[in-house]
Structure 1
Amino acid sequence: MAVSPASIAGQSCGAELTVAYTATFHVVPDQGTHTVQFAYTINNGRSEQLASLQFLPGQATKTFSFSWHGSLPLDHTAPGLGGVLVTSPNQLISTPVKPAGLCTPAPFRVTSVTMSVNPGTIAGLHCGTNLTVTYTATFHIAPESMGGVIKFGYTVDNGRSGGDNTQTLIVGPGTTTQTYSFTWSGALPADHTFPEPGGVLVSSPNVVRSPLVGPSGQCS
């Protein structure tokens, strides 16, 4: 058995890759025509596909190639071991092979933060009404990372406060989005100073500032 590429060391987890496995069958040549029947696997025998090769008079070797294609997973479960099991004219199991090495996880970083707010508008509400406004930040994380800790601060007053970076989120391996919600509560003032736009400022693992969002409209 042979495999190409021979190693995936240095490749990024999440990268698209095709792995080619090549089996070389060796037979004792004679003057007859013979068929070799076999099964092949790309996942260490958990599943198999059937195939066959015909040897013509005098042929001593013949090759058969098959492949795996996909994204290199962060848990290193693929590409798997590939090999063949000959079933006729006799039984023979090849030595399974796969590329050496492991893919490299992507750096842990926040690529962007999107914001939403509920309610989306306060139009039609009476001034003086008690209200809770919920702001939700969605952190978008680079795929195929090992995860880490996001440190950030949030604001509910259009950025005048909230830069203390005292909030944290723990992100697991391979996670690409995580949310965090915070609130403003109070009576809707007649001078329309609240509720104000809210958002977050990420300080670690990298600096990202979200847009600021708030309910539209005014109380009456």
Structure 2
Amino acid sequence: MRDRDADKRLAAETAVGEVRDHMLVGLGTGSTAAHAIAALAARGLRIETVATSEASAALARSKGLVVRDFADVAHVDLAIDGADAIDARLRCVKGAGGAMLREKVVAEAARRMLVIADGTKRVARLGATALPVEVLPFARAFVLDRLSAYFVRCVERAGYRTDNGHIVIDGHGWDDASPRALADRLMAVPGVVGHGLFLREVDAAYIAENGIVTRLERGRNPR
């Protein structure tokens, strides 16, 4: 049996096969996305990139990739990122690495969004995975109180700040029967600036398990 990191690398290397010369590529954040960055650099294509975190930007530059400031970018050709959980409908929970707000912006800007993951991230239901919520520090106590209506338990990441200067609260035990409704309710709470539910952004997923890669395409998969 292969280890998880080998599967992460295989999923990343397979997905990177979609990248072509002259593309502007969105780089995700996390251990699986790091494999994609390395695979992109190894291909030696004539591309430019934008990064969803300072860590990914630094890694990409260290490997010789051109990283543009996303503040000057309106559209991305292809984005590649990991996920904490993904179901058969390509709905995801993201944000373990704390970059979900920037990841969502880049995903929305991308003409095509790919998720890469090892087989442990493929789930029947999303609610078993903690849902990260990015919060304005000023609103910490207020938001914690409001989030208690939607989660069994809310845990602030101690001493942590996102690249945007915000805190992250992880919500455990949530009802995933209607994730779109939950997403709307979360964004209606003043002080919440983002969350880790990606319900319509992902176009395809490359999931590797025991050395075998499965590609899922939106609208083509059994539920």
* TM, length-normalised to structure 1: 0.22
RCO greater where, 1 or 2, for CA within 8 Å and sep 6 or more?
Answer: 2
Which one has the bigger strand percentage?
1
Which has the higher Rg, Structure 1 or Structure 2?
A: 1
Which one has the bigger helix percentage?
2
